[in-house]
Homo-oligomer: A and B are copies of this chain.
């Protein structure tokens, strides 16, 4: 009997919001794929492990994807992972975990497409996105009334982005965060409300209340900016 591939969002932060649906779906899968090279590196593993006693009785696969923009290397990694998943799907249900929500910037969609091409069914279980968890942590609203929200994964053309009305959500780390920091400091007069969280929900979480506190050495940082419109 053919199984189903479930793309499951596990939220972010060990204390945060794994959903009941996610937990129940993981329980009924015999095989769990994690998008990291080992359990020590894998936040999705840490989140699920804190809720699911019988996790170690399942077949756990750690599937590494190179941190590159080289399309050929990426395509090879996706195909290798999809091939392994298809082998398991011949007889078993498989879960592929992503932090946050699978519909937001997740490798799962490349795997999904390849697995569906091989004739298998897939289903997505939504998760709490990082920017909602971060807003909750900060006690900030993302939007009220008719305010727009813009999710910005890049830092190209910040001048143009800053013209957008409503709330800007930046998801960045490293060099791009440094660039964003400089930009926000120089445009501080236009900022009505600011908040940022790095490693949200984990032990090394850092909450920042001004652009000056942003630190490029931190892992994925979510920055929320509301302007004086």
Using a CB–CB cutoff of 8 Å, the interface residues on chain A facing chain B are 9, 11, 15-23, 51, 101-106, 109, 112, 122-129, 132-133, 135-137, 139-154, 156, 164
Contacts and interface: CB of A to CB of B under 8 A. Distances in A.
A103 B142 contact: yes
B124 A127 contact: no
Contacts of A145: 105, 153
Count copies of this chain in the complex.
Answer: 2
Contacts of A139: 112, 122-124
Contacts of A51: 20
B126 A132 contact: yes
B135 A17 contact: no
Given A21-B16, A144-B109, A152-B148, A125 B136 contact: yes
A145 B18 CA distance: 24
Contacts of A17: 19-22, 125-128
B105 A143 contact: yes
A126 B22 contact: no
Given A20-B20, A20-B51, A147-B153, A101 B126 contact: no
Contact of A101 (B106, B132, B146, B148): B132
A15 to B, nearest CB: 7
A50 to B, nearest CB: 10
